[in-house]
Amino acid sequence: MDRHISAPVGRETAEELRAGDYVYITGTIYTARDAAHKRMYETLREGGDLPINIEGQAIYYMGPSPAREGRPIGSAGPTTASRMDKYTPELLDLGMGAMIGKGKRSQEVIDAVVRNKAVYFAAVGGAGALLSKCITSSEIVAYEDLGTEAIRKLTVVNLPVIVVIDSKGNNLYETAVKEYRKI
Amino acid sequence: MIRTVQTEIITETIKKMCIEANYSLSSDMVKAMRKAEEKEESVLGKQILAQLQDNLEIAASDMIPICQDTGMAVVFLEVGQDVHFEGGSFEDAVNEGVRRGYTEGFLRKSVVGDPILRENTKDNTPAVIHTRIVEGDRVKITVAPKGFGSENMSRVFMLKPAEGLEGVKNAILTAVKDAGPNACPPLVVGVGIGGTFEKCALMAKKALTREVGKHSDIPYVRKLEEEMLEKINCLGIGPGGLGGTVTALAVNVNTYPTHIAGLPVAVNICCHVNRHTVCVL
């Protein structure tokens, strides 16, 4: 089913989404990938605050290529989400509403998605040029020294994603593949 | 006769090749992607493959890299034994080409200087350089920027000789199955069989640079390539890992003599952004 939602993604919205839904996201999202996650995790261990208010936010696992002059961003597709699994349950428990990435998640992440009524979306891996067209502004808000891995605040318009893990724990990677498996 | 080649030409050529590889795919890959869209049976799979077609067009027309992971630069060099380089260090010239390409070409700098300390080198150097001395007075350069979503899902298996061809088939299927959606299917699967631990991995990488659709000259290897492509496409993984009948575009296998006690197999997985560009100087 095709849906249009706005970001930040509240719990009510996430709860309505089902694995397999084709979703267009419009609004504000944040990027964070390996190094930013590690730093956020360490900050929390030291008793510090996260650099952004994560409540209801959608985090896009993405590190863009450099922007050409006059453009908000370069190529901007998703990176493999499982590398963030170690840090994810804690962020979900702190209120993170949604994640956008690609690839499988651990059972701990799936449990945390269900527990917190969140959602995991996949964007199409390797479609960075196309996806960059949905990003109208980009601003580094934390960890600038990490370069492409800095935390960016993005404005997106109709960013196309697919619900892979929904708040009930349905997992499209498992159900869809079964349908076409012949061996 | 010794032929002199200026290292500056190596640098400038590699710069251009890094940029070219990241903005447009070679014609064999473009053709394979079109065919994939026709063949795919899943509606969502077809939609994803159509998006990937659009992505390739946007990348070329608007000069946006096909994928934000513009890779670690893998450079194969076949250097004729009658070539003499002038103008400084050969490997420095290669790295300088990568540095210029990634900086001037607005490509992502994805290389950290140490695997544990992990500080970004900020210019995507060093490259991974494989040089071979061959006959003649030419320099053949292949630039293959490799993304790590798929690199991370690659495997080496040290099989027992008794496991034979069946063991090889299982190894390939296991690697692809485990890669699942993580490696950005549809994939190109490079396989190296034989040699030593490192030789099979290198052969698997080199296999990815072979033109898609071109098969091995060895009859049983060709049969293996065809059979494995069919089997992989029966796994159901599909485009984006969201189910479908096109999980791989090609399986390219290279072989080499090996030891009486061994059967090394490497499976180097590449996403649909299988970048490889060749130039002969």
Write the DSSP string, B168-214.
HHHHHHHHHHHHGGGG-SSEEEEEEEEE-HHHHHHHHHHHTTSPTT-
Of A136, A133, A84, A74, residue with least CA distance to A105? A84
CB atoms within 10 A of CB A143: 17
Find the CATH number of the domain harbouring A91.
Answer: 3.20.130.10
Q: Say whether residue B113 is in contact with chain A using an 8 A CB cutoff.
A: no
Q: pLDDT tier at B186 (50, 70, 90 boundaries)?
A: very high
CB contact under 8 A, B108 and A75: yes
- The residue type at B140: K
- Kindly state whether B274 is in contact with chain A, defined as any CB-CB distance less than 8 angstroms: no
Other CB atoms within a 10 A radius of the CB of residue A46 amount to 7
A178 vs B contacts (CB less than 8 Å): 236, 243
Question: A77 vs B62: CB contact, 8 Å cut-off?
Answer: no
pTM: 0.95
**In total, how many domains does chain A have?**
1
C-alpha A168, offset from chain centre = 18
Chain B residues touching A160 at Cβ < 8 A: 51
Does residue A1 register a pLDDT over 80?
A: no
Rounded Cα–Cα distance for residues B86 and A141 (Å): 47
Structural domain of residue A11, as residue ranges? 2-180
- The C-alpha atoms of residue A156 and residue A131 are separated, in whole angstroms, by 10
A102 and B184 in contact by Cβ < 8 A? yes
Write out pLDDT tens, residues A66-110. 999 999 999 999 999 999 999 999 999 999 999 999 999 999 999
| pLDDT tens per residue across span B58-103 | 999 999 999 999 999 999 999 999 999 999 999 999 999 999 999 9
The answer to whether domain B3-22+66-146 has CATH 1.20.140 is no
Q: What percent of chain B has pLDDT over 70?
A: 100
C-beta pairs of A152-157 under 8 Å, 24+ apart in sequence: A152/A30, A152/A31, A152/A64, A153/A28, A153/A29, A153/A30, A153/A52, A154/A28, A154/A29, A154/A30, A154/A31, A154/A60, A154/A73, A155/A27, A155/A28, A156/A7, A156/A25, A156/A26, A156/A27, A156/A28, A156/A29, A157/A26
Please answer yes or no on whether B65 and A127 come within 8 Å at the CB atom. no
Q: Where are the domains of chain B?
A: 3-22+66-146, 149-274
**Pick among A24, A37, A65, A162 to test the B interface (most B CBs inside 10 A):** A65
A2: Cα within 13 Å, side-chain hemisphere: 6
pLDDT, residue B1, reads: 87
Consecutive H or E run containing B38: helix B27-39
- Distance between CA atoms of residues A47 and A142, nearest Å: 18
Is ipTM strictly over 0.90? yes
Q: Apex CA B228: angle with CA B227 and CA B232, to 5°?
A: 125
Encode pLDDT of A151-176 as tens digits: 999 999 999 999 999 999 999 999 99
Q: Check A130 against B58: CB less than 8 A apart.
A: yes
What is the C-alpha to C-alpha distance for residues B201 and B156, in angstroms, rounded to an integer? 7
Which chain B residues touch A127 with a CB distance below 8 Å?
51-52, 54-55, 67
pLDDT surpasses 90 at A183: no
pLDDT of residue B275: 95
Model confidence at B206: pLDDT above 80: yes
pLDDT in tens, B233-274: 999 999 999 999 999 999 999 999 999 999 999 999 999 999
